Amino acid sequence: MLIIDKQTLTDLNVTNNRYRDMIDFFDCTVTQGGRDMLYSYFLEPLSSKWEIENRQHLICFMQGLEISDLLDKYMMQDLEQYLSLPQEPYSASRSTYYLEMVSTNFLSLDFKKREILIKRSIHEIAKITDGLAIFLESAKLADYTLNVLKEYGNHVERVFEGIDRDEFTQLLKNKFSTELMIKYDYIFRNIKRNAIREIFNLVYHLDALSSVAKCSKGKELVFPQIDEQITGSDIITIRGAYNLFIEDAIKNDVDIKKENNLWYLTGANMTGKSTLLKTIGSCVYLAHLGFPVPADAMKTVLFDGISATINLGDNINVGASHFFNEVLRVKHLAELLASGKQMFVLMDELFKGTNHSDASEATLELVNCLKGYKSSVFLLSSHITEICPILHKDGIALKYLGVQLDEQEGIIFTYRLLDGVAEEKLGMWLLRKERVFEILFPRYTRV
């Protein structure tokens, strides 16, 4: 499984309660179990090409299917309640045990209520199992022979195994005797309890995958091409990457190669550095889920882990400052890299908790250490531009986001990714444009 932590999930807006997050974007699940399953996908990114491509193909297949007949929120809640009823104690003879129970409790109100729940649940389990069998048959007819579908088929077959088909037909029609109810209650909740649980989980998987398929349909999302490892110089190539949560977002092309696997992104606040890091990080993260990404095209290798340090705060509970938290995250990253992990790393305005001179020295030293890990990718943003000539000589990719200064319109943020270093002094330009110094000192003369 891909290495990822809570800070990274928050920074990439995967799970962020304050704003709309990725889970919200892809969530149109019907059942609670389906939503829980979707949530588990986000917390457990995949680490193999085979698993990722299987999920990609299954989502594509489900974009053309309607499975609403299988999905009923309240029905699944009832079935969960039914399956959670206590298993009946062991009896040498099933028929003897139930005959004793019926003769003792048949006229009681509790028995009548339980009988209604049991009979309805048996019918619904039969209906779901039959519906899944039809779904899997349609997959075969569509020539979808994915191993995951074969596994789904095995779950269904385990329910059908040893079942009388004529009796099953009666269950489907919801026209069966008390005797059959007793028999299949025992079968479903005792003999085949685990198989029925697998069927429920299968429904939740299909609900989650169908949700991704529905939410992706008609949107500018694309399934990325996955490489198991770096074969040439290309590590990540994205055409038209954009942010999921920005309306009419500007698209940028991203080319990260082995020789420029470390980016140093400069620019003032509001130029879009953090948003760009999140955009690229989101594409890489979604690619490891087997989900479509917000781009026109994408190709990426697989990483062992993703680490983002963008909106890091203090940890008052343990008395750790923002700066010390940064140091601890860099240390953890260093340990992962030293152990041979291939990482995708985002760092925004690192070491801003210390003075400028100290931050400049620390940033330069960190870059010198990271540049040797050619199988990993490092995207660093910073206000510190004086070290850029040194970085340029070392082959570090220098990037910035374009800004235009206009006396009439003010600052125009283009959000376009460019090669080079941000040279604009936006602070002084704004202060002078707003005549701040003239207000403070009436005789102030511009130099």
Per residue in 367-418, pLDDT (tens digit) is 999 988 999 999 999 988 999 999 988 889 999 998 888 777 778 889 999 9
Question: What gap in Å lies between CA 9 and CA 293, rounded to an integer?
Answer: 16
- What was the pLDDT predicted at 367? 94
Residues 6 or more apart whose CB falls under 8 angstroms from that of 374 comprise 258, 261
Is 402 within 8 Å of 414 (Cβ atoms)? yes
- Torsion-angle region of 240 (φ positive above 0: left; ψ -120 to 50: alpha; else: beta): left
- 323-359 tens-digit pLDDT: 788 888 999 999 999 999 999 999 998 888 788 889 8
Burial (0-12, 13-18, 19+ Cβ within 10 Å), 435: exposed
Enumerate domains of the chain plus CATH numbers: 64-216 (no CATH), 225-440 (3.40.50.300)
- What was the pLDDT predicted at 278? 96
pLDDT of 442 above 90:
no
| Residue 232 pLDDT level (bands cut at 50, 70, 90) | confident
18 or 208: which carries more pLDDT confidence? 208
pLDDT of 152 above 70:
yes
- The amino acid occupying position 288 is H
| Residue 192 pLDDT level (bands cut at 50, 70, 90) | very high
Measure Cα distances from 238 to 179, 287, 302, 304 in Å: 62, 11, 14, 20
Is 72 within 8 Å of 30 (Cβ atoms)? yes
- What was the pLDDT predicted at 159? 94
- What was the pLDDT predicted at 436? 82
Q: Dihedral of the CA atoms 322, 327, 330, 334 (nearest 10)?
A: -160
Is 220 within 8 Å of 258 (Cβ atoms)? no
Mean pLDDT, range 423-446, rounded to an integer: 74
Residues 6 or more apart whose CB falls under 8 angstroms from that of 145 comprise none
Adjacency order of strands within the sheet including 343-348: 305-309, 343-348, 377-382, 262-266, 397-406, 410-419
Mean pLDDT, range 144-164, rounded to an integer: 84
pLDDT of 314 above 60:
no
Q: Could you give the count of Cα atoms lying within 13 Å of 418 in the half-sphere of its Cβ?
A: 16
- What was the pLDDT predicted at 104? 53
Residues 6 or more apart whose CB falls under 8 angstroms from that of 4 comprise 45, 285, 305, 306, 307
Question: What gap in Å lies between CA 161 and CA 198, rounded to an integer?
Answer: 14
| Residue 319 pLDDT level (bands cut at 50, 70, 90) | very low
User: Hunting for tokens 């291939």 — which residue is that?
Assistant: 342
Q: Could you give the count of Cα atoms lying within 13 Å of 104 in the half-sphere of its Cβ?
A: 6
- Give the per-residue SS3 of 288-352: HHCCCECCCEEEEECCCEEEEECCCCCEHHHCECHHHHHHHHHHHHHHHHHCCCCEEEEEECCCC
Is 359 within 8 Å of 352 (Cβ atoms)? yes
Token digits for 198? Answer: 């697998």
Question: What gap in Å lies between CA 118 and CA 99, rounded to an integer?
Answer: 16
Range with lowest mean pLDDT among 207-216, 239-248, 262-271: 262-271
- The amino acid occupying position 154 is N
- What was the pLDDT predicted at 97? 53
Mean pLDDT, the chain, rounded, equals 87
- 81-140 tens-digit pLDDT: 898 877 654 454 556 656 655 555 554 556 677 778 889 999 999 999 999 998 888 777
